[in-house]
Chains A and B, each alone.
Chain A
Amino acid sequence: MSVYILKRVGSVIPILLLAILLLTAMIHLSPVDPAEAYLSAAHIQPTEEVLAQKRAEFGLDQSFLTQYVTTVVRLASFDFGTSYVSGKPVLDEVLLRLPATVQLALSSLLLAIFVSIPLGFLAGIRKNGFFDHLSRGIAFIGASIPSFWLGYLLIFFFSVQLDLLPVGGIGSPSHVILPAITLALPLIALYTRLLRTSVIETMREPYVLFARTRGIRETIILGKHVLRVAIPPMLTGLGMNLGKLLTGTIIVETVFSWPGFGRYFIEAIFDRDMPIIQGYVFLAALLFIGSSLLVDLLQLAIDPRIARKGGNRR
């Protein structure tokens, strides 16, 4: 088991190196000179003198290889560099905004879990029943409405028309409701359908039939035999989507003026603030890799068969 874990963790390193290579290449591939982007955003007339000074300051006058090696060494020691725009360390800028993003993401995740487990379960045990139709409706909406538009609709009805909730910002519990719903809806759509399928499949298993013939109460069958077995596949889906949750915050935070890292990332893109963009993409890569690793390990804990096979998954 420990060999398996080591192997999985070890495989992360080349992926990260590749990610950093792509990040460094980004600066070179972009037709836009970050130094010039900085100046035009600052209403400064870009004279050659100022441009040269900014390029040297940003380290853009170095070769591709030098930039790549420097970046790897920096990131390995968790030094993300300095923002072109604010002149502050990227890590400070990130840490300032990360708590808000984590708060939003976790609220959405909890909401998604608390809604999709009962809904998916009920939809699964009564195929074509009321909850099945409801979950299908939510799935359609969740999968097809772009989150920015859903955000506007929610603001329009619940804030402007009904005056129940704030338009945006952070502060009170009421502030988190609309952005969390916006971010959670696509996840609810996905998880509900995953759980529903899994429940339907499990209900067809021989041991369920056997339990029924033994005369065990239906509620116990559903709770103990069906739900417990049906949840792990959903867990995989959940882990795979943790990264998606983070990227989803980019739009939701912008629409709801939520002072998190996702919205800051958008500003950084407009400003061509490369260190911030690199920091964000690096962290997102870490999160994607980390969450899939976590799911694998969780599976390992839940399903001992994986460990017994020496780490080979089904």
Chain B
Amino acid sequence: MNVSRRKKSIIQAVSILSITTLLFGCSNPNEGADNKKNKDTLTMAWPRDIGEMNPHVYNPSQLFAQSMVYEPLVHYAEGGKLEPFLAKSWDISKDGKTYTFMLRDDVKFSDGSTFDATIVKKNFDAVLKNKALHSWLGFISKIDKTEAVDKQTFRMTLSEAYYPTIQELAVVRPVRFLGEAGFPKNGDTSKGVEQEVGTGPWVLDEYKADQYATFKVNKNYWGPKPKVKKIKVDIIPDAESRVLAFEKGDIDLIFGEGAISVDAYNQLKETKSYKTTMSEPVATRLLIMNTKKKQLADERVRQALQYGFDKKTLVEGITSGLEAPADFILPPNLPYTSNLNVEKRDFDVEKAKTLLDEAGWKLPNGKKVREKDGQPLQIEMMYDAAELVQKAMAETLQSEWASIGVDLKIVGVELPDQVQRFKDNKFDINMYSNFGAPYDPHTFVNIIGTDGFGFKEAISAYPNKDQLLQEMKDVLKTTDETKRQKMYAEILPSLQDQGALVPISYLKKMAIYQNGVTNFKFAANRDENPFAQIGIK
């Protein structure tokens, strides 16, 4: 063999070797995103890695996954009903400060250890080690004392009465329960857990960062056993790729808020080859008018703007039915939000024009924009530039309001920038959506009534502002259910009727799944997983 030929064969060998190493290199061909058609396993797509399965931390842990493994004392059910869960009942002292929970005695963690008052206390204490981080959840910063009274009784004492405590116990994080084996030696779970031991129906089985995670049934589960043996979560960051994987049949289920584009959803729906469903409202999309601004300080102008656009056409046209036109600032399926008596303001161009005339904004001859004292009626609306629905809505409002003589400038900004400008009161009209179940209505009124969020300034022209702010503080301390209902029935309509808060649409979650999937049902809690009784044929 001469030299050049040997050289050649070495080069060939090296290239073949390198190609094979590359192709097979980092992996084992038996794993990965390939899904064998398996009737026991439900495969869903999710945009992000599920993160650490630790009940006491936030991002990047995904709420739906945390809710599969860990459970709350109280369950947030449809219509905002608060039902017993790991606590079979509770008792609230007359002064609203002491909460005593009677725990279920048949609950075991996935490793077989017992769920009792001692472990409940241990979890609360772990959460309280990082009180500041969790202080956004109102009752956490008010906890004075936690006690395991006996094996099945847990007691918590607050520094002051705070009625939303029970409701806040239903959230996905951070007040869910980790088994003893999960705790690190120092008891501080904020840096990680030893094992993902929960009481939930699912146990994390296999996990590959950024690729997939599988959950299997918890053999020790105390409640009704799930119908599928496994749930596999395939991580597909791109929405269009999720749709393609679904069409190919690799994925059984896609769900979430804006999980796929409106177009893709409707296209898949129209094929009639799949099942689609929408959830009950989870939150409201609102316009917030800044009454500190001269043009918007007059209630008649704010009302005119409400009369001046066709909400139904706007919402249905832009969201193709993925959102529903909203009549109330909070969805009526939240606690204390049903049967509220608010003034309806339906589309009425003539009324809008009259109101503007009355407010002194007249249309000069030959001009298209109303004026008052030589100033044109110009208003600026900011929206999240990344959200197509907000952009389309802003554009539609711009053209609708042009016909009543209002010059609307629309400005797309980045979401965090939008939040910042809202806080700094640097806006005329803002698009906002509230937290939804299980956080509202108390979080909503709390945000409105607290400095530093932007709402308090935005409603500053309301004549009854001081009384409203006081009521919003007081309602959180109420101990009487009837009185509380009555107070909400005053606060919420007053906020809405004076026109700074304009409901646009109810946000909903979407789900699309293969025909074999049965019993898909959205949880009432916005953050909770929908797998309670899901099956697959």
- A residues in contact (CB < 8 Å) with B: 31-33, 36-50, 53, 85-87, 96-97, 99-100, 103, 106-107, 110, 152, 155-156, 159-160, 163, 166-173, 175-176, 254-257, 259, 263-264, 266-267, 271-272
Measured CA separation A167–B30 after assembly (Å): 16
Q: Which residues of A contact B435 (CB under 8 A)?
A: 43, 45
Residue of A nearest to B132 (CB): A53
Residue of B nearest to A163 (CB): B248
B237 & A100 in contact (Cβ 8 Å cutoff):
no
A103 & B25 in contact (Cβ 8 Å cutoff):
yes
B237 & A257 in contact (Cβ 8 Å cutoff):
yes
Q: Which residues of A contact B238 (CB under 8 A)?
A: 254-255, 257
Q: How many inter-chain contacts with C-beta < 8 Å in the A-B complex? A: 157
| Residue in contact with B60 in the complex, picked from A36, A39, A85, A159, CB distance below 8 Å | A85
Residue of B nearest to A263 (CB): B237
Interface of A is mostly: helix
The residues in B between 27 and 48 inclusive whose CB is less than 8 angstroms from any CB of A are 27-34, 48
14 A-B pairs with CB atoms under 8 Å apart are: A31-B420, A46-B136, A48-B452, A86-B51, A87-B191, A107-B23, A167-B248, A168-B245, A169-B212, A176-B23, A254-B241, A257-B238, A266-B237, A271-B59
Q: Which residues of B contact A106 (CB under 8 A)?
A: 18, 22
**A-B pairs with the 10 shortest C-beta distances?**
A171-B32, A169-B33, A259-B210, A42-B58, A32-B416, A173-B23, A172-B29, A45-B136, A167-B245, A42-B59
B210 & A168 in contact (Cβ 8 Å cutoff):
no
Nearest Cβ in chain B — how far from A238, in angstroms? 16
Q: Which residues of B contact A87 (CB under 8 A)?
A: 191
Q: Which residues of A contact B247 (CB under 8 A)?
A: 160
- Taking A44-B136, A171-B30, A259-B235 as known contacts, 12 extra A-B pairs with beta carbons closer than 8 A to each other, sorted by chain A number, are A31-B414, A32-B416, A45-B443, A46-B419, A49-B135, A106-B22, A166-B250, A167-B236, A167-B250, A169-B211, A171-B34, A271-B59
B133: Cβ under 8 A from any A Cβ: yes
Measured CA separation A165–B361 after assembly (Å): 64
Measured CA separation A152–B63 after assembly (Å): 29
| Residue in contact with A264 in the complex, picked from B29, B210, B420, B447, CB distance below 8 Å | B210
Residue of B nearest to A260 (CB): B210
Measured CA separation A161–B46 after assembly (Å): 23
| Residue in contact with B29 in the complex, picked from A169, A171, A271, CB distance below 8 Å | A171
Measured CA separation A49–B59 after assembly (Å): 18
Bitwise, B353-386 to A at CB < 8 A (1) or not (0) is: 0000000000000000000000000000000000
> Given A38-B59, A172-B32, A259-B211, are A110 and B237 neighbors across the interface (CB < 8 Å)?
no
Measured CA separation A169–B32 after assembly (Å): 6
- Most chain A C-beta atoms within 10 Å of own C-beta, residue among B27, B28, B210, B420: B210
Q: Which residues of A contact B11 (CB under 8 A)?
A: none
B133 & A155 in contact (Cβ 8 Å cutoff):
no
Q: Which residues of A contact B19 (CB under 8 A)?
A: 107, 110
A100 & B26 in contact (Cβ 8 Å cutoff):
yes
A31 & B237 in contact (Cβ 8 Å cutoff):
no
Q: Which residues of A contact B439 (CB under 8 A)?
A: 45
Measured CA separation A33–B329 after assembly (Å): 29
Measured CA separation A225–B288 after assembly (Å): 74
B417 & A166 in contact (Cβ 8 Å cutoff):
no
| Residue in contact with B416 in the complex, picked from A33, A169, A257, CB distance below 8 Å | A33
- B residues in contact (CB < 8 Å) with A: 15, 18-19, 22-34, 48, 51-52, 58-60, 63, 132-133, 135-136, 191, 208-212, 234-238, 240-241, 244-245, 247-248, 250, 414-417, 419-420, 435, 439, 443, 447, 452, 527
B241 & A168 in contact (Cβ 8 Å cutoff):
yes
Measured CA separation A85–B52 after assembly (Å): 11
B22 & A53 in contact (Cβ 8 Å cutoff):
no
Measured CA separation A31–B22 after assembly (Å): 42
Q: Which residues of B contact A33 (CB under 8 A)?
A: 416, 420
A171 & B22 in contact (Cβ 8 Å cutoff):
no
A175 & B59 in contact (Cβ 8 Å cutoff):
no
Q: Which residues of A contact B415 (CB under 8 A)?
A: 40
B416 & A272 in contact (Cβ 8 Å cutoff):
yes
Nearest Cβ in chain B — how far from A131, in angstroms? 22
| Residue in contact with B244 in the complex, picked from A50, A100, A155, CB distance below 8 Å | A155
Measured CA separation A272–B28 after assembly (Å): 34
Q: Which residues of B contact A107 (CB under 8 A)?
A: 19, 22-23
Nearest Cβ in chain B — how far from A27, in angstroms? 13
Residue of B nearest to A48 (CB): B452
| Residue in contact with A173 in the complex, picked from B24, B136, B209, CB distance below 8 Å | B24
B28 & A171 in contact (Cβ 8 Å cutoff):
yes
Q: Which residues of A contact B443 (CB under 8 A)?
A: 45
Residue of B nearest to A107 (CB): B22
A43 & B63 in contact (Cβ 8 Å cutoff):
yes
> Given A37-B416, A46-B136, are A175 and B32 neighbors across the interface (CB < 8 Å)?
yes
Q: Which residues of A contact B15 (CB under 8 A)?
A: 110
B211 & A170 in contact (Cβ 8 Å cutoff):
yes
B22 & A176 in contact (Cβ 8 Å cutoff):
yes
> Given A103-B22, A160-B248, are A259 and B209 neighbors across the interface (CB < 8 Å)?
yes
Nearest Cβ in chain B — how far from A59, in angstroms? 17
Q: Which residues of A contact B240 (CB under 8 A)?
A: 152, 255
Q: Which residues of B contact A100 (CB under 8 A)?
A: 26
> Given A53-B133, A170-B27, A175-B33, are A263 and B210 neighbors across the interface (CB < 8 Å)?
yes
Q: Which residues of B contact A175 (CB under 8 A)?
A: 32-33
Nearest Cβ in chain B — how far from A260, in angstroms? 8
Measured CA separation A52–B191 after assembly (Å): 19
Residue of B nearest to A149 (CB): B240
| Residue in contact with B248 in the complex, picked from A103, A159, A267, CB distance below 8 Å | A159
Q: Which residues of B contact A103 (CB under 8 A)?
A: 22, 25-26
Q: Which residues of A contact B212 (CB under 8 A)?
A: 169
Nearest Cβ in chain A — how far from B264, in angstroms? 12
> Given A42-B58, A97-B210, A263-B237, are A173 and B245 neighbors across the interface (CB < 8 Å)?
no
Measured CA separation A38–B133 after assembly (Å): 12
Residue of A nearest to B248 (CB): A160
A50 & B250 in contact (Cβ 8 Å cutoff):
no
Residue of B nearest to A104 (CB): B22
Residue of B nearest to A45 (CB): B136
Residue of A nearest to B240 (CB): A152
